[in-house]
Amino acid sequence: MTAPIETTGSQAEAAPEAVLAGVKSKQIEGRSLGQIAWTRFKRDKLAVTGGVIVVLLILIALLSRPLQSLLGLDPNAFQQDLVDPNTSLPKGGFGGMSLDHPLGVDPKFGRDILARILEGSWVSLVVAFGATILSNIIGVVLGLVAGYYGGRVDTVVSRLMDTFLAFPLLLFAIAISATLQGGAFGLEGLPLHIGVLIFVIGFFNWPYMARIVRGQTLALREREFIDASRGMGAKGPYILFRELLPNLVGPITVYATLLIPTNIIFEASLSFLGVGIQPPQASWGGMLREAVNFFQVDPQFMLVPGLAIFITVLAFNLLGDGLRDALDPRSR
């Protein structure tokens, strides 16, 4: 047997100092879950690109009217001198593109397409965000209640979700929008059209969010911190909105980001069918409807609003995918 190696007291005391020598405090500082998610998100170049485009689109929508005033544009100004009276097509090539009208003018009326794209941007985003907020509020509340309480409450909410999912949403939206075009609830014109679209799209889309929240709540309600809250005498509403809801911010944010582009397409579809935003108010779907009669001879008129919808939807989808991967790395 070899004799054990004896260490002096000074060597034993020096060992921890040797291990920690040169280590700075900020190098071993812990990071929060938000910081970790932000680090993951920054590594996804496509998600960052989508986020930048989304921020620019929101700024453009918020500053739509000031930008039109600054550029001297009017989305509803008829400029017949820019249209050939014989063909109703814009004069010049590429849909009448020029320095004064960089995206050209529309056939028949000569209205500036850039001005109408700017004007339609805030309409699309207001409807999409409003409908998303409405469906999220309903879906989150009902999903939390169904997942936490279970039993008959869960059965009733689940059957209600199945009923709403069975509705032919597009046909129902067309019927409601067409019925309320004249005036209702003391509203008329553009406020009525926007309100109806937000209600129709948001109210009938809540089951998707409710299903996600219900599934997450079923898993969370068995965790130790929920048992601890019950043991301390916490009531149901407190547990729902102070314990469970903060732990569901990630999934809710991700799904809301992915739901916004779906709502943009839905609004554009209803406007394209003539039961959404009504002229003379500009909307991307309405511009596509007007371009149907001219796409063979003036493709520029259809290309611009189509690209606006495509870029907006793609940017939100890229942002949503990036947030999903950042907040839940297991989804990779």
Taking residues 20-40, what's their average pLDDT?
A: 65
CB distance 258 to 322 below 8 Å: no
Taking residues 166-184, what's their average pLDDT?
A: 75
Q: Which of 104, 124, 112 is nearest to 299 (CA)?
A: 104
**For residue 151, is it left (φ>0), alpha (ψ between -120 and 50) or beta?**
left
**How far is residue 241 from each of residues 114, 220, 245, 248, measured CA to CA in Å?**
45, 13, 5, 10
- Residue 133 has what pLDDT? 95
Q: For 4, which DSSP code?
A: P
- Residue 303 has what pLDDT? 92
**How far is residue 72 from each of residues 51, 64, 75, measured CA to CA in Å?**
29, 12, 10
- Residue 325 has what pLDDT? 85
Per-residue pLDDT for 313 more than 80? Answer: yes
Taking residues 239-246, what's their average pLDDT?
A: 89
- Residue 16 has what pLDDT? 52
Per-residue pLDDT for 157 more than 90? Answer: yes
Highest mean pLDDT (candidates 50-64, 83-97, 294-308): 50-64
CB distance 322 to 51 below 8 Å: yes
Per-residue pLDDT for 6 more than 60? Answer: no
- Residue 165 has what pLDDT? 86
Within 8 A by CB and 6+ apart from 197, the residues are 127, 131, 177, 267, 270, 276, 277
| Count of C-beta atoms within a 10 Å radius of residue 19 | 9
Per-residue pLDDT for 250 more than 70? Answer: yes
Residue 30 CA to residue 100 CA, distance in Å, equals: 55
Residue 255 CA to residue 320 CA, distance in Å, equals: 7
Taking residues 299-328, what's their average pLDDT?
A: 91
**Reported confidence tier of residue 174, pLDDT bands at 50, 70, 90:** confident
Tell me the two tokens of residue 133.
Answer: 């907020």
- Please, which residues bridge with residue 184 across strands? 187
Per-residue pLDDT for 80 more than 80? Answer: yes
- Residue 12 has what pLDDT? 47
DSSP 128-178: HHHHHHHHHHHHHHHHHHHHHH-HHHHHHHHHHHHHHHHS-HHHHHHHHHH
Mean residue pLDDT of the chain comes to 84
**Reported confidence tier of residue 63, pLDDT bands at 50, 70, 90:** very high
Domains of the chain: residue spans and CATH: 36-327 (1.10.3720.10)
